[in-house]
Amino acid sequence: MVAIIVPLLLAVAYLTLGERKLMGAMQMRIGPNVVGLFGILQPLADGLKLFLKESVIPSTANKVLFIFSPILTFSLSLMAWAVIPFDFGVVFADINLGFLYILGVSSLGVYGIVFAGWSSNSRYAFLGSLRSTAQMVSYEVSISLIVIMVVLCVETLNFTETVLFQKSVWIVVPLFPIAIIFLVSALAETNRPPFDLPEAEAELVSGYSVEYSSMSFALFFLGEYANMILMGTILSLIFLGGWLTPGFTTNALIYLPIKASFILVIFVWTRVAFPRLRYDQLMSLGWKTFLPICLAALILVASILLSMN
């Protein structure tokens, strides 16, 4: 557990620095460069600042749920990593229902956000949590249908066997449009721009986390970035061959982080390049565009596999 959690927390810390540096380069500015050489100690300074700040609990809040919500969100973001294989045999729990476990844990993440918005006893926080819940539930439908498509192709719910299935060709080659939909749905699922409607600063003053400060806010922040890394890793495992090189059976522990980092660069790039959608556009994209496409693709993939059997 320590071997998974400690590198993950370090990755989350330096993902924030990498994101700010990359955004700075894209917007022709410097980014963090004061704390440490080239700003390399900036995440530690940010973490220390949040740790030392006073934790404020609103007098009208439901204190138990208010404190429990960020802990639940952060814990679920760590639990999902139990079934993620980093190399052949390098996995905490190599269970045969890995896909179902991931879908179950990610769907539970809604509760932490709902509890946070409701227990704050604030209209802004509650509206933000409702928006986030509707958004996450909507795009989980598309992600679930895409997972079913992949399971139909590989005939297993195990992540390791899914990667080994891609020795000859990565699944992204025959299912490229579906992989793009999965990437966009992952952006919406993690509340990342341009789908950051629940945290829209101009409208909702940071949404469901508006009443949080100190370490309770930091736990939400860590949970969001851990989920970003998780989505990048899952996409790499089921579409980009995981730890395998294309066309070869050779593998190395470094290939999966490289592929996940490539996905995370796309996450940051979309934040810089695209404006935020309106909420009706967000829901319309999920229910009127992605859902019909995924259903049609599922029927098509099942039909092709059945005819070739």
Read off the pLDDT of residues 285-300 as tens digits, 9 standing for 90 and up: 999 999 999 999 999 9
Residue 204 vs residues 29, 45, 66, 78: alpha-carbon distances, Å: 28, 27, 19, 28
b vs e for 143-160, b when ≥16 Cβ sit within 10 Å of the residue's Cβ? Answer: bbbbbebbbebbebbbbb
The DSSP bridge partners found for residue 87 are 90
pLDDT of residue 247: 58
Residue 248 has pLDDT above 60, yes or no: no
Place of tokens 């399971």: 151
Read off the pLDDT of residues 21-71 as tens digits, 9 standing for 90 and up: 999 999 899 888 888 888 899 999 998 998 898 888 888 889 999 999 999
What span, in angstroms and rounded, lies between the C-alpha atoms of 34 and 21?
12
What span, in angstroms and rounded, lies between the C-alpha atoms of 159 and 97?
9
Residue 169 has pLDDT above 70, yes or no: yes
What span, in angstroms and rounded, lies between the C-alpha atoms of 101 and 222?
21
User: What one-character DSSP code corresponds to residue 209?
Assistant: G
Angle (CA) 11-175-81 rounded to 5° is 25
Residue 252 has pLDDT above 70, yes or no: no
Residue 205 has pLDDT above 90, yes or no: no
Measure CA 264 to chain center: 10
Residue 200 has pLDDT above 80, yes or no: no
Q: Which residues, at least 6 apart from 71, have a Cβ–Cβ distance to it below 8 Å? A: 219
Cβ contact 235:179 at 8 Å: yes
Residue 126 has pLDDT above 70, yes or no: yes
Residue 203 vs residues 126, 197, 214, 275: alpha-carbon distances, Å: 13, 9, 23, 14
How many residues appear in the chain?
A: 309
b vs e for 241-270, b when ≥16 Cβ sit within 10 Å of the residue's Cβ? Answer: bbbbeeeeeebeeebbbebbbebbeebbeb
Retrieve residue 96's tokens.
Answer: 């045969």
b vs e for 100-121, b when ≥16 Cβ sit within 10 Å of the residue's Cβ? Answer: ebbbebbeebbebbbbbbbbbe
Read off the pLDDT of residues 135-166 as tens digits, 9 standing for 90 and up: 889 999 999 999 999 999 999 999 999 999 98
Cβ contact 239:170 at 8 Å: yes
The DSSP bridge partners found for residue 90 are 87
